[in-house]
Amino acid sequence: MKPELYELLPDVVLFVAVAGAKSFSRAAKALGVPVSTLSRRISDFEAKLGIQLLVRSTRQVELTETGVRYFERCQLVVEAAEAAQAELRGQLDRPRGNLRVSVTQDFAVTHLTPIFSSFTERYPEVSFELDLTPHPVDLIGEGFDVAVRMGHLPDSQLFARRIGSAPIALYASPAYLLRAGVPKTPKDLAGHECLRMRGPADGGARWTLERGGEVMAMSVRGRWVANSMRFLLELATLGLGVVAIDRAVARAPVQEGALVRVLPEWSPPSVPVHALTPSKLLPARTRVFLDCLADHLRLEEPLLAKTGGASRGVAR
């Protein structure tokens, strides 16, 4: 090891903490040091390197172009050191600690609650803190271990593991179908009230249906657009329209007769489900949780890869 590298390594750790959190105050709190001390150390660190790594503002900290590249390399070094330290403490072999998970309420209620009882019994030293909102979270800056997301993944530097796939189907209440008529073909949906999940650009106004190898895409209309499957489910049971929804979410009202399948030979494409993590070096509590999800959802072989390359650390 070169002497200058030995001298810089402590400051590399501080830099990674600030760059990951994009905040001196959050990094200082995580490290247990005063903000003024951390700010001075980073300034001295940039002076030693002879280059600016961070752009400071009153609201947050941004990385310069050079800072982004330096952070990506240094983060791997810090993560490897943390993994080695965790292994010494037995963390990689013994699941324990607090697991912070960002997941929508719909997914948590439908898919997570059935497995929590057996999971917590098997791993009594793992506790949970869940953020049940669909809004983007900064996994690194906010200290989340996992974000579970359905659908298209935006570009980011997070690591994505595909853990499942949610089959979707069309449903409506018997009262609605009696009043509005039963759709015979996908084209008939143009004349119906369609309860839509909010899409990234079009408000979910375009639906795609598949039957074997046949695919049909169509524009749909409706007065209701929301970001909650369970809310749309309630509207459908009240007779307000046709909904395209996770079959697991619709199972209970179908069994009770409150909903019936519409166009049963046709289905929207299944929605992929991914677990996003800030690193591929995972403590035991995170690894066993992801394995449990993959087993429960009965997905294909899990994949681990970076999701792309723009909005660093943010899971949407």
For residues 165-192, one letter each, b for 16 or more C-beta atoms within 10 angstroms of the residue's C-beta and e for the rest, the string is: bbebbbbbbeebbeebeebeebebbeeb
Q: What is the percentage of the chain residues whose pLDDT exceeds 70?
A: 87
Q: What is the pLDDT of residues 9-49, one digit of tens each?
A: 889 999 999 998 888 988 888 888 999 999 999 999 999 98
Would you list the domain boundaries of the chain?
Answer: 3-89, 97-163+271-315, 168-262
Question: pLDDT at residue 245 above 70?
Answer: yes
For residue 304, give the nearest of 167, 158, 108, 99 by alpha carbon: 158
Grade residue 131 by pLDDT with cuts at 50, 70 and 90: very high
pLDDT at 183 over 50: yes
Distance in angstroms (rounded) separating the CA atoms of residues 143 and 310: 20
CA separation (Å) from 173 to 236, 239, 254? 6, 5, 9
Res 264: pLDDT: 95
More confidently predicted of 93 and 175: 175
Q: Residue 2's pLDDT is what?
A: 62
CATH of domain 3-89: 1.10.10.10
| pLDDT at residue 201 is higher than 60 | no
CA distance 230 to 13: 44
The CATH topology of domain 168-262 is D-Maltodextrin-Binding Protein; domain 2 (3.40.190)
Distance between CA atoms of 65 and 83, rounded to whole angstroms?
A: 28
- Going by pLDDT thresholds of 50, 70 and 90, the confidence category of residue 128 is very high
3-class SS of residue 44: helix
Q: What is the mean pLDDT of residues 274-284?
A: 86
Helix (H) / strand (E) element for 241: namely none
CATH topology of domain 97-163+271-315: D-Maltodextrin-Binding Protein; domain 2 (3.40.190)
Q: Are 158 and 280 in contact (CB under 8 A)?
A: no
Single pTM value for the model: 0.66
Look at residue 310 and tell me whether its pLDDT is greater than 60.
no
97-163+271-315 with 168-262: one CATH topology?
Answer: yes
The pLDDT of 145-165, averaged and rounded, is 82
Kindly indicate the confidence band of residue 205, based on its pLDDT and cuts at 50, 70 and 90. confident
